Amino acid sequence: MTARSRHEEHRASTPLELFFDLCFVVAVAQAGARLVHALAEGHVGAGLAGYAAVFFAIWWAWMNFTWFASAYDTDDALYRVVTLVQITGVLILAAGVPRAFDDGDFTISVIGYIVMRLALTSQWLRAAASSRDPAERQVCLRYAAGLVLCQLGWVGMLFVPDSARTWVFPLLALAELSVPMLAELRHTTSWHPHHIAERYGLFTLIVLGETVSAATIAVQEALDEHDELGDLLPLAAGGLLIVFAAWWIYFAVPIHDHLTSNRQAFLWGYGHYVVLASAAAIGAGMEVAVEQAVGKAHISAIAAGSAVTVPAALFMLTVWGLHSRHFKRGMAQQLTLPVSALTILGCTFAGRTGVPLAGAVAAVTVAVGWTLNRRRAEGASPTPPLPETRRG
C-alpha cells in the first residue's frame, strides 16, 4: 500500500467511496429523526446537545475514512474488504443512534466505532509497513496509535457516571480532533486537494438530499392525515427554496485550489462539521414546522420557524467563512451571505410565514450573488480591440 500522488490527474471519487457515503444516510436520518422528536416536544437544550454529540460521531467516522482514502486508496481486494468492514461498523453506529440520543447510552455506537477503528487501524499499519520513507512511516504509526488511544477513551467513557459524560465527551472529541494535527505535524500525508474537495461536496449533496427526503415525507404524512394544503404549501415552497439556495451557494466556487496546506485544509475540513450538521438540521426543522402547522408539535410558530431559519442561517455563515469569502471581491460580495443569514434569522419572528419568507430571502441571495459575480466577470474581461479602419 503505497501513497498516491497529491498531483495525480483526474483523481475522482470511487464507487466504493460513494457506497461508503450512502451508508451514512441511515445514521444521518436517525439523528435527524431524534432531533425532530426533541424539538417538537420543546426539549430544545437536550435535543441540540444530543444532536451535536451524535452528529459528531457520524461526521468523524466519515472524516477518518475520507482522508485516509485520499492518500492511500489502492483499491485492491484487501483494501475493499477492510472498507466493507468499516461500512459494517457504520451501520452498527447508526443502529445505536436512538439510544445515544435519547438515553445517552453510547454502547452500541461505541461497538460500531470499535469495528470501524479495528479496520482503519489495520489500514494505517499496512501503509506503515509498505512505506519506504521513515517520516511517512512515523505518520502512519502515529495515526494508528492515536486511533487506538482515543478508542480506549470511548470505551472507558461507558463506565463513568452519566453526569460525568457531559465533560468526558467533549474532551474525547478534542482528543480525536488533535490526532491528525499531531500525526502530521512534521510530515504530511499525500491527500489530494481536488479529491478531498469532491468528497466533501458529494457528502454535502447526500446530506441535502436527506433533508429534501425528510421534508417531503413530513409533508406527505401531514397531507394524509389532514388533507389541507393551505398551510403546508408555503412551508414546502420555502423549505425547497432554502435547500436549493444551500446547494447553489455551496457549489458556487471551486475550493480545491485553496487547499494548499494542512493548515488550510484541516480548518476547512473541521469546519464542515457545522456545514453538514446545519444542512441536516434544516430537514429536521422542516419536519418540526410541518408538525406545528398541523397541530402535532407542542411549540409556538416562532419556535417551529426557528428550527428551520437558525440552521439555514448557520449554513450560510459557515459556508461563507470556510470558502466563499476567499473568492469574494469588494464589500458588496463579501456582505451578501452574512447579511442574508441575519435576514433569515429575522424571518423567525414572522411566525408561520417565517419559513416562506426565509425561502424568498435565500432565493434573492442567490440572485444577488449571481448578478454580482457576472458584473465582476464582465468588468474583469479585457475590452476587445476595435477593428482597424481603412483610410481612403
Cα angle, residue 265 at apex, residues 259 and 271 outer, rounded to 5° = 125
Per DSSP, the three-state class of 5 is coil
Element (H, E) at 121: helix 107-130
pLDDT on residue 132: 86
Domain boundaries, the chain: 15-183, 193-380
Q: What is the pLDDT of residues 319-373, one digit of tens each?
A: 998 887 777 777 877 888 899 999 999 999 988 888 999 999 999 999 988 887 7
Model confidence pLDDT, tens digit, residues 116-153: 999 999 999 999 998 888 999 999 999 999 999 999 99
Is pLDDT above 50 for 386?
A: no
Confidence of residue 5 (pLDDT cuts 50, 70, 90): confident
DSSP letter (8 states) at residue 264 = H
Is the separation of the CB atoms in 26 and 109 below 8 Å? no
Average pLDDT of the segment spanning 193-215:
90
Q: Read off the pLDDT of each residue in 72-77 and give the average, rounded to a whole number.
A: 89
- Return all residues near 243 (Cβ < 8 A) that are at least 6 apart: 208, 211, 212, 215, 282
- Across 90-97, average pLDDT: 92
- Residue 177, pLDDT above cutoff 70: yes
Which positions ≥6 away from 108 have C-beta within 8 Å? Answer: 92, 93, 95, 96, 99, 100
Question: Within 10 Å of residue 334's Cβ, how many Cβ atoms?
Answer: 14
- Asked if pLDDT for residue 310 goes beyond 70, the answer is yes
What CA–CA distance (Å, rounded) separates 40 from 167?
A: 27
Q: What is the pTM of this model?
A: 0.88
Residue 110 above 60 pLDDT? yes
Dist. CA 44–CA 42, nearest whole Å: 6
Which cell is 276 given? 453538514
Q: What is the mean pLDDT of residues 161-176?
A: 89
pLDDT at 388 over 70: no
Assigned CATH topology for domain 193-380: I/LWEQ domain (1.20.1410)
Q: Which residue has the higher pLDDT, 388 or 211?
A: 211
